[in-house]
Amino acid sequence: MANHTDTVLPMINSDIRQRFVFDEIDARGCIVRLSETCESIQATHHYPANLASLLNQFALAATLLRDSIKIDGSLTIQLRTDGPIKFIMADCMSDRRVRAISEYDSEELPANDQIALDGLGNRATLAITISPDQGERYQSIVPIEHASLGECLEDYFQRSEQLPSLFRLLADQQQAVGISIHALPQDKVNDKVAADEHFTRIKSLLNTLNAEEAFSLSAEQTLTRLFHDESCRLFESEAMQFGCICSAEKSLGAIKSLGKDDIQKLINEQQEQGKPSLVVDCHFCFQRYEFSFEQVNGLFA
> What residues contact residue 42 under an 8 Å CB cut-off, 6+ apart?
52, 55, 56, 173, 174
Decide: 210 and 222 in contact? Cβ < 8 Å: no
- Structural domain includes residue 2: no
Closest CA to 66 of 17, 33, 20, 22: 17
The low-confidence residues of the chain, meaning pLDDT below 70, are 1-13, 246, 282-283, 285-287
> Residues 263-297: pLDDT tens digits?
888 888 888 888 888 777 766 766 677 888 888 88
If asked whether residues 238 and 266 sit together in one domain, one would say no
Structural domain span for residue 266: 248-300
State pTM to two decimals: 0.84
- Structural domain includes residue 214: yes
If asked whether residues 254 and 215 sit together in one domain, one would say no
If asked whether residues 263 and 236 sit together in one domain, one would say no
If asked whether residues 102 and 205 sit together in one domain, one would say yes
CATH number of 260's domain = 3.90.1280.10
If asked whether residues 238 and 271 sit together in one domain, one would say no
> Residues 27-36: pLDDT tens digits?
999 999 999 9
pLDDT on residue 286: 64
pLDDT on residue 9: 39
If asked whether residues 60 and 132 sit together in one domain, one would say yes
Environment class of 66 (CB within 10 Å of its CB; exposed 0-12, middle 13-18, buried 19+): buried
- Whole-Å CA distances, 216 to 11, 15, 223: 11, 13, 13
CATH number of 210's domain = 3.55.30.10
- Structural domain includes residue 153: yes
